[in-house]
Amino acid sequence: SSEIAPIDSSPDVSNGGPNPRPYSSNHVPSTNDMQRRDLRKFKCHSHQDLLAAPEYKQLFIDRVQKHMFNGGALTVAENIDRFLERANEVEPAIIAEAARWGDSKISVPRNKTHWQNEINWIVNTYFPNRGNTVLNQLRNDGLYTTFTAPIFSQHGGEVANNFPLTMTASAGTIYYTTDGVTDPRLIGGGVNPSAAVMQYTGEVPILGTTTVMARLRTAGGQWSGLVEATFSTVALAGDYNGSGTVDEADYGVWKTNFSALVAAGSGADGNGDGFVDAADYTVWRNNLGAMLPGAGAASVALSSGLQVVGTDEIVPLPLIFVASDIESSINTASSDAYVRRTRTGVRPSFDNLLLAATGSSASRRSEMAVDAALDHFTADASHEDELLAAIAADLAGLPNLGP
């Protein structure tokens, strides 16, 4: 890219020959009769004239930062991709060209192997080293900084909501914005006084689609190139608080906002209809325990009102039974359910769950509900452990939502 190509100030390169026609900002040639060489000479002189302007040099540094780092157009991988794309375009003609011209200049004819060896050298040796060479040239010319610009812990892309973005850099102060518009640096070199500009002191939570723009400012007032990255957050069904995990806290968000009208897909609107209702509880229930890659492991309980009494633990499992299923069959409960639970040694677990759900002690009504649910549940060849979790959550205050 000629946008940031280093300029060689020798007459043969920048002026096009030993006796060039002098072009400068005071002598702009007409494009009507300008030859390509004349235009090239004019561009070189324009660049040299503009180097006297600090803002031009800062813009140049910004372009270097943009294109030569973080997957930019002049990074190694991008250079190799462009080169191989062009090489593959001419590949079919190489054999014919080698047969026609391969021995025109040397005694041992060149062939396709010579071509492939050169390709390999460019890909494996030239491009991997060329970037550092150019950066050093730019630094020597004052067109890139000798200190390090901010480095993001992840440079854009998809992240979990509330992703903790961190930044590192050379000694100095990192200033950043998250509105995707405001440059932390003012023209002239001062710190932008906008309220959007913040001083980096620690993790920056990424909430929704966010473009972060950051610069380092040294103690001497020098600025790094502008580092810019856009993040998007991955939606996880049922993750109503954006923690990256569908857990107890998300149920609390849903319960607090039940019956609220919201922007479609926001808050606890799991199905995107703009209304927080039973269907959104179902979304949470069906995804309970899911987490985004990289989300920290968290202990998951089944409802905000549920606690464990004694030493038993509640295992997070999908909720497939709700109170309305139980109520219709309470009167059919028999002592068989109680005997079975006692005999298999799971009665203490039921008691713990019931105590947690009622906040005091298990009532006869709650025991009958559990009896009836157990009979129904066992008839469907389901797991008793899952029933424990389902009933406890329902008795803890979930509305009668139906299955």
**pLDDT of the residue at 310:** 32
- Position 299: which residue type? S
Instruction: Give pLDDT tens digits for 25-44.
Output: 344 444 444 455 565 666 66
Please report where in the chains the tokens 């250079």 appear, as a residue: 79
Extended strands (E) in 179-316: 198-199, 204-206, 210-217, 227-234
**Which of the 8 DSSP states describes residue 148?**
P
Antiparallel, parallel or unpaired: β 173-177 and 198-199? antiparallel
Please report where in the chains the tokens 């620690």 appear, as a residue: 202
Considering the entire predicted model, what is its pTM?
A: 0.56
Listed in sequence order, the residues at least 6 apart from 132 whose beta carbon sits closer than 8 Å to its beta carbon are: none
**pLDDT of the residue at 299:** 33
24: tokens are 């400068």
Q: Which long-range contacts (CB under 8 A, 24 or more apart) does 337-340 make?
A: 337/370, 337/371, 337/372, 337/374, 337/375, 338/367, 338/371, 340/374
**pLDDT of the residue at 277:** 83
**pLDDT of the residue at 210:** 93
> How far is 89 from 100, CA to CA, in rounded Å?
19
**pLDDT of the residue at 214:** 98
Spans in the chain with pLDDT lower than 50: 1-34, 296-343, 357-360, 398-403
Extended strands (E) in 4-160: 151-152, 157-160
**pLDDT of the residue at 373:** 59
Please say whether the beta carbons of 204 and 210 come within 8 A: no
**pLDDT of the residue at 366:** 56
**pLDDT of the residue at 221:** 96
**Selection from 208, 271, 273, 200 nearest residue 234 by Cα:** 208
- What are the residues facing 210 on neighbouring strands? 231
305: tokens are 């009102």
**pLDDT of the residue at 191:** 97
Packing angle, helices 248-256 and 278-287, rounded to 10: 180
Buried b or exposed e, range 280-315, using 16+ CB within 10 angstroms: bbbbbbebbeebbeebeeeebbbbbbbbeeeebebe
- What are the residues facing 228 on neighbouring strands? 213
Instruction: Give pLDDT tens digits for 49-83.
Output: 888 899 999 999 999 999 999 999 999 999 999 99
> How far is 318 from 292, CA to CA, in rounded Å?
18
